[in-house]
Structure 1
Amino acid sequence: LTVDSVASIISSSLERVRALRNEVTAQSERLSEQLRTSVLDGLAHAFKTPLTTISVASAGLAEVAELPEEQRGELLGLIRKEAERLNLITEQVLRTARLEWDKVLTLTCVNLRVLLEETISVLGERAAGKIGIVQQTERMTIEADRAVLKIAFEQILENALKYGDPGVRVTVLVAVQGSTATISIHNHGSYISPKEQQLVFTKFYRSPTVVHRANGTGIGLSVAQHAVTAHGGTITIRSDKGEGTTFVITLPITEEEGES
């Protein structure tokens, strides 16, 4: 009788462990699927700008029969540059599509300033001379998936440039407190009401106050939030009608300094 009772207890405990393990696995798969979908959305969203540039440059070459050699060379160079950018984005899409459920993120030591500078470079003419980085700390290394985090920064910086006052620089402030890195991206001129500060992270949501100011799909900030959350971080908004809007990203930081 004692053996039967113990066996029954063990069997019941094992069943609960199996149920819990299945539940954790299912939840992990759901989160992985959400992240992968968001990353693919972001990469697809990134196709739009180079395609538009190539289309416009090609139209210019086709419509003007005799362009000066210098202008013709500039347009051809622009088409080549954006075609290369599309190729890189395509590689990212394919890499993301091949990711296994338990390998959504490929973590390496990444220097935040270097990554931000690379992101600004990717934005090209839209960001040239329009974004300033203020570094308040020497510790800049975090453990992150370089490609995924770059997508998040690109979406937020592009958003800040798009809706800020023309001619006013976007400020990126990087600071560290304890084991947390904080990246604050501020533009002047935009305002997001408290009611909308969570809605803007909803896929396809676009505020009625800005829908006519600039083109957009409402995907970018949703992608950014998923990417930041996957890294164990948070993203919040501070907004004031007089001061503008700041997106505040927090990320865990590694103990030892390194660069990638």
Structure 2
Amino acid sequence: MTTSAQRADRRVSPVFLALVAVMAVSGWAVWTGRLAASPGFAVFLFVVSGWIVSLCLHEYAHARTALHSGDISIGAKGYLTLNPLKYTHALLSIVLPVIFVIMGGIGLPGGAVFIERGRIRGRWRHSLISAAGPLTNILFAAVVSAPFWLGAMDGVPQQFRFALAFLALLQVTAAILNFVPVPGLDGYGVIEPWLSYKIRRQVEPIAPFGLIAVFGLLWIPGVNAVFFDAVDAILRALGITNWDTYFGQQLFRFWQGEPMVP
């Protein structure tokens, strides 16, 4: 029988609801142009709040999958409330991803919730727990890009179109980076259960530096070009052009001055 404490562990946090409210109100402001004096600021609020909402859903997917896989400690840790303040690595999960979005327009993978892996049996379950987060980013990308690939952009205000495109770009970059099979990222978590004990022990010490290594590689022009070519190809398949994401990012960076949009 579900107790009142268990229900409280799964009740949606007011913090998350506030984030959704900010996303909705700022999205309305972008759509209607009510902040005409600074439309970029409205785009900034919409994209950042939408990005944090997606991070919350990413971590929730990890936690929910772990719960159904056998880790019943998840609820008591507050992970099922969608409250970003409950994450084990709030800096990695929320703060750094937002900073990277502001600086470079890249969806930085966040730190996963703490899961008691010893409670979970079966390699497939371990792999699914790791895959659940980036799969959520893929689903989020499909939702925000739906007006593009459904051909439903007629009548959509231009600034809202650009904001959606930039938010979709962040989700695609996050999904790709998360699935890179490097220690410390979800992609490695997917394959880790299938590796030998010896390999896992050898790799364990470098796991904290995996994300740093990936972003170091992205500074190499050739690697960066290949990465963004892949991102652009996926976005084109979703009906989003380079111009959509370019103007979305320019509007997002409102502190640089309002861009000249077509």
Same fold (TM > 0.5) = no
| TM-score in terms of structure 2 length | 0.31
* Structure label with greater radius of gyration: 1
| TM-score in terms of structure 1 length | 0.31
